[in-house]
Chains A and B, each alone.
Chain A
């Protein structure tokens, strides 16, 4: 558990004196990394991400007791987080950082750099994909993030989103084709 999480744990433990609340907080904290990954997958800003996680933590304390086991609780946590992120996405508050800025940050934080002649193309490509993600319908973005960024399989994604695995697959196909076609339509050769 990192320093930030332990600060939160200390604060939260002080406030929550019932055993169930402590248990719920434990699960929330244990899954905080994964929840942050979901927030990142939906391209939310730090501020919006904080708001989302705050709401989720409050809901976790209030509603966890009705779930019998840890797996159900985790699934519920992810579902609530995804729904809350989708709300921000619908309000077009996601993926607001432009490609150039993303690449600048990558270079700054030591991510792998490309050759100079490739860089211009990458910016253009990246901007198309960023815009496509931003414009993607929420019914498609949810499965995309959970499947390809959170490494869940179609069955797990279906359980979280309340869809059957075949629907998840068809949505993934649709989302992927949208992104790929955008690249090709804008004349970018992959």
Chain B
């Protein structure tokens, strides 16, 4: 390829696109009239663009099948819907609480005598437990100690001392 061919080829695309100045365009046209190689290149440039157009047009025909982007929307926050759901939940919770209060058996009221009885039992059980634990330090008293623990459990079942005694037996 001659030097002038190289220069011309640099300008061929712009020549084909009509982007050259008239003087340059004439220079290219004059060269093409005499150079088969460059004419071939120009033909190839034009032909390849035509074929690229065929490929592109095929794609364009296919875009008819493209569905519009239905998910490309901003989701609106549906306050009325959320408010209705919240109100529903609140109603269910409130109803269940009220219902429970209505049907639940009334709590037995604690009288002063009952409190006094519990305190007495607790202190008695605690004293017995302390004495039994002292007795447990003697190996010979094992049988008596066990009976004592059992007594505490059976006599004062609701006390903390009874719970401890139960553990000792186990």
Q: Which residues of chain A have a CB within 8 Å of any CB of chain B?
A: 4-5, 7-8, 11-12, 14-17, 21, 25, 28, 32, 36-37, 39-46, 49-50, 53-58, 60-61, 95, 97, 102, 105-106, 109, 111, 122, 125-126, 128-130, 132-133, 144-145, 148-149, 169, 172-173, 176-177, 179-184, 189-190
Contacts and interface: CB of A to CB of B under 8 A. Distances in A.
B61 A16 contact: no
Contacts, number: 153
Nearest to A111: B57
Contacts of A43: 55-56, 59
B63 A49 contact: yes
A177 B13 contact: yes
Given A129-B51, A190-B47, A184 B40 contact: yes
Contacts of B75: 15
A55 B14 CA distance: 36
B66 A53 contact: yes
Given A40-B60, A53-B66, A149-B56, A125 B51 contact: yes
Contacts of B66: 36, 39, 46, 49-50, 53
Contact of B49 (A21, A25, A55, A148): A148
A39 B59 contact: yes
Interface of B: 9-10, 13-14, 16-17, 19, 40-41, 43-49, 51-63, 65-76
A63 B141 CA distance: 88
B53 A169 contact: no
Given A36-B63, A40-B56, A173-B14, A190 B43 contact: yes
Contacts of B72: 12, 28, 53-58, 60-61
A72 B40 CA distance: 42
Query: Could you say which of B47, B51, B57, B67 has the most chain A C-beta atoms within 10 Å of its C-beta?
Result: B51
Given A37-B60, A41-B59, A16 B74 contact: yes
B59 A126 contact: no
Given A12-B73, A46-B62, A50-B66, A179 B52 contact: yes
B68 A177 contact: no
B68 A179 contact: no
22 contacts: A5-B68, A21-B74, A39-B59, A39-B63, A40-B60, A40-B62, A46-B63, A46-B66, A50-B67, A53-B68, A54-B69, A58-B71, A58-B72, A95-B55, A102-B54, A173-B13, A176-B49, A177-B9, A183-B44, A183-B48, A190-B46, A190-B48
Contact of A177 (B45, B55, B62, B69): B45
Contact of B69 (A8, A41, A111): A8
A56 B46 CA distance: 33
Contacts of B40: 184, 189-190
A129 B45 CA distance: 11
A25 B17 CA distance: 36
A182 B65 CA distance: 32
B61 A36 contact: no
